[in-house]
Amino acid sequence: MKEQRKLVVVISRGLDDERSSVAWSIANGGIKNGLDVSVFLVSSGVDWVRKGASDRAHLNPEDPAMKDMIQSVIDAGCHIGVCPPCIKVRGMYPEDLIDGVEVVGSTAIHERVKEGAAILSF
């Protein structure tokens, strides 16, 4: 059986940048196309998974609502990792994050790279 190809989407843009909408859209497209997708959030990208943060965000009218795109990634069973120092400098704690995300260091990305993952960064 052929091994599933892997994709890591690194999102460093937050609530004020349309590129983050593109990143979540590409993650969802990868899932729909059979890729094993992981998302890693750094810098202001961690704001997307703060409880309530994405509830009303809709950066690109051509894309689904941000909350829906994020939930689709979670519902697909994809790993969403969040940079520990990035939440710390924002005064956030793991309990401030939505269910389905994990506070994890960059080793999570490195392991995926060792497995042959492609990386897209936004």
Q: Which domains does the chain have, with CATH numbers?
A: 8-121 (3.40.1260.10)
pTM assigned to the model? 0.92
Q: Rounded distance, CA 71 to CA 112, Å?
A: 22
Cα radius of gyration rounded to whole Å, the chain: 14
pLDDT at 64: 86
CB neighbours (10 Å) of residue 76? 14
Q: How confident is the model at residue 84 (pLDDT cuts 50, 70, 90)?
A: very high
Across residues 76-81, what is the average pLDDT?
96
Q: How confident is the model at residue 62 (pLDDT cuts 50, 70, 90)?
A: confident
Nearest to 105 by CA among 88, 82, 80, 74: 82
Angle at 114 between CA 109 and CA 119, to 5 degrees: 50
pLDDT at 6: 96
Asked if residue 122 has pLDDT above 90, the reply is: yes
- What is the sign, positive or negative, of the torsion defined by CA atoms of 20, 13, 83, 57? negative
